[in-house]
Amino acid sequence: MNTPESSPSGNVHGMPLACCIGLGPPELTHIGGYAPKVEPNSVAIIGLRSVDEIERQNVRGTGVHPFTMRDIDERGLRSVMREAIQHVSNGNAGFHLSFDMDAVDPHEAPGVGTPVRGGITYREAHLAMETICDSGLMASMEVVEVNPVIDEVNRTALLAVELVMSAMGKRIL
């Protein structure tokens, strides 16, 4: 949830969510003549573990529902997912899922732009997608941060495909 002014790296990939909830330059936040495009209280961010200082303030001050890796460790992913789905679907017909592959531990997903140890596991990622599918409320989905140049034998890309299939209903039995 960085803006051009707050981003230490200047990487744009962390800025679209901020713009959607009304943070950032008016040229982006007010496309179509209004802001925010998405109410911050209809946003959940799951698996936070590496956040810039100003980004931390943006997350805390906007009304989005953040869930850190500590929340997942203490409460379990199933509980976190259910609460997040409740927040994002409250008063809405459905929700959009943006799954950032660097939320997964780099041991499982090495081909990402910003690998940080301590991410969700292979099984937790599948459980998250299965829980989303079970809700019946996902209206759209995107998977981001797969970098084939640094991937190892397509491991990250193949995991991304598996996760999309779980989100779309593929089950063990």
| DSSP string of 1-29, one letter each residue | ---TTT-SS--GGGSHHHHHTT-S-HHHH
Q: Is the pLDDT of residue 109 over 90?
A: yes
pLDDT tens figures, 37-74: 999 999 999 999 988 888 898 899 999 999 999 999 99
Query: Which CATH superfamily does the domain covering 40-167 fall into?
Result: Ureohydrolase domain (3.40.800.10)
Q: Within 10 A of 49 (CB to CB), how many other CB atoms are there? A: 16
Q: Where are the alpha helices (DSSP H) in 104-168?
A: 122-135, 155-167
Q: What is the mean pLDDT of residues 79-88?
A: 98
Contact 95, 138 (CB under 8 A): yes
Instruction: Provide the residue ranges of all domains of the chain, joining segments of one domain with +.
Output: 40-167
Q: Which helix or strand (DSSP H or E) is residue 86 part of? A: helix 77-89
